[in-house]
Amino acid sequence: MSAVLKRRIRRLEKMVKEAASPAQPRTVVVLNAPEDEAPAAGKAEFAAQQDAAIRQGTSVIVIVGPNAKAAKLHPKAIAADSEVDAMGRRLALFPSSDGMHRNALQQVLGSLSGNVIGVVAQ
């Protein structure tokens, strides 16, 4: 991966993290799914947190790591692969602040400047 591409990815991750800060209204909760080998008490606590949040009308995003593939997600929960993925999904749930984009994620991505990197045959 080129240095330019790595720099752009770091910049995008930074912008997504800043835009997904807790300053947004608390209508979304992000949970980490328990690992497959987690004790039953941990899995039960996770299920209770999901259910409580959904009963309150809160959107739930669950980070499902590589060791948590057997985690039971509520049907209304949104699965994410990583923390950055969860932040992007969280931003997609909020409206944009400029009125020009459908959601906050599109606004963040639209604010990025730079040249398009073309595909190069190897």
How would you write the chain as a 3-class SS string?
A: CCHHHHHHHHHHHHHHHHHCCCCCCCCEEEEECCCCCCCHHHHHHHHHHHHHHHHCCCEEEEECCCCCCCCCCCCCCEEECCHHHHHHHHHHCCCCCCCCCCCHHHHHHHHCCCCCCCCCCC
Which residues constitute the domain of residue 63? 3-111
What pLDDT score was predicted for residue 96?
A: 82
Task: Name residues of the chain where pLDDT drops below 50.
Answer: none
CB atoms inside a 10 Å sphere around CB 72: 12
Would you state the structure tokens that stand for residue 16, as one six-digit string?
């997504």
Residue 37 lies in a domain: yes
Sheet holding 28-32, edge to edge: 28-32, 59-63, 78-80
Residue 97 lies in a domain: yes
Residue 104 lies in a domain: yes
What pLDDT score was predicted for residue 51?
A: 94
Residue 53 lies in a domain: yes
Compute the distance between CA of residue 98 and CA of residue 100 in angstroms, rounded to an integer.
5
Residue 120 lies in a domain: no
Number of domains in the chain: 1
Residue 90 lies in a domain: yes
Residue 60 lies in a domain: yes
What pLDDT score was predicted for residue 62?
A: 94
Residue 118 lies in a domain: no
